Structure 1
């Protein structure tokens, strides 16, 4: 006897969710090749070239962290300089306790992540524009606390005491550190967005109330991103400190200009994309390299670029390109089909 299906009991096949595995493999392979080529630069080019690329690396890291906060979690922070400054000053602390500055960068990132956890409870009491202002206030409070410690140079800043004496080796090690921080920021962001948390973040960004009603743990997702971005900014701050052999001024390392730079780079490159901050950081790096000595014209050029992109390419350089071509180096989209 042949089994028959009772009408009304047929199983309904759910649509399958696919990811572009081929595009992912190609993107990661290309990224690995670029990183390996960049890692070999100290053996191939003058140390002055790698010295300039250190700035590009930490700019990419900073832009990626701000994009993770705002572009994917919907948190408009104007106080990430708090964690940049903490990263630099905590490097003095761990260095004074015998930890090498290069290994100390990892320690500093972990310490700042721990500090960001209680700070998140304070910041998350605010929403929207109040959150942006509140994070800036937190950064100022952190700066005022740090400058009260004479061992950290008080209001005058201080220099590192344990850095490789050979200038060639120091520049090479600093470059490799900056490259590692950049790679961790970009690939870490991509890995997070490819996870279950990444799906929740995009729902939170669009409408956190609706996301919560669908079962997304909004507060946990935002706190995870907030802590991760703090750790990334701290690592970038440590790189800035190592590259400058210290901190010349606490006002500068805790300056709001870093948040302004992050906003500029992400808007120029394309907010809400993994590649956008990289393109935006590269664009700013080139503008700074070729126009920084032009006085007031430097600000004119930077402002003109920002206005032009905002008006004619509201999705940013990479965002517009990706929209028109559908191409991505780091695909995070999901395709629904049978």
Structure 2
């Protein structure tokens, strides 16, 4: 739609500004008196030539390798221009030299307009065609990014589901009285995954509530040896963030930082201020991950961040002493 508006503005600029000013350079006053038919024919020819070029879009035909059609069009237009130079001149009493000079001037004028309109039209059409090619490439890249994001999210959901089912399975085997509460919380998490997570972006309030439900579910299987702290602050709870972008880091904190017989702690901090999201996790290192078989969660999360926020995020993960630290800034 914007391209159509730009094309319309350019056509109006040519028809109402450029051409009238150019025509005024001609001896219009004399031609109106002595050769009105030629002047009107010339004006009609110039505007018709312009719209023929705009209609056919020669640069597009060139990119499509339709060289024969281009050659036929140019030959036809050149022939029409040549025929216009033989337009009858008014019979006036003048010597042959003056008549030849007027004829030469008229011929030069006709070819000047032909070359000017041709050059202007080619420049405009070439610019538009290059612009369309750029937009097409951007659209293709955007669709590829969407496809990649959909793939990563499709992989993240089963990954999370598998980990959570392990938690429920452990509660069932142990006969814990927390099992019923765990299933209630799990149903809330499933609702989020298959309703909210279908949207590419959700509010920070919804994302935090999801993380809160997940941590509450994990607490049900933990004992007094593991202390979990979750703090969340936001100056605008309706700020949009990518869905399920933070849960992977929280999952890993519980996966590698909890123990049934060793004191450990998990700290999760989420802060949104002035459009900047800071997310930090610090957890004890109870068990080490298998470096030879890295999980898809962190890898997918990095890829999503790169696709959604190229050059606008900072992600740092490191182990300090017996603590594993994750820092994410968007």
Which category describes the TM-score, using the shorter chain as reference length? Answer: under 0.3
Specify the structure having the higher radius of gyration (Cα).
2
TM-score (norm 2): 0.24
Higher relative CO (Cα under 8 Å, sequence separation at least 6) belongs to: 1
- More helix per residue: 1 or 2? 1
- More strand per residue: 1 or 2? 2
TM-score (norm 1): 0.24
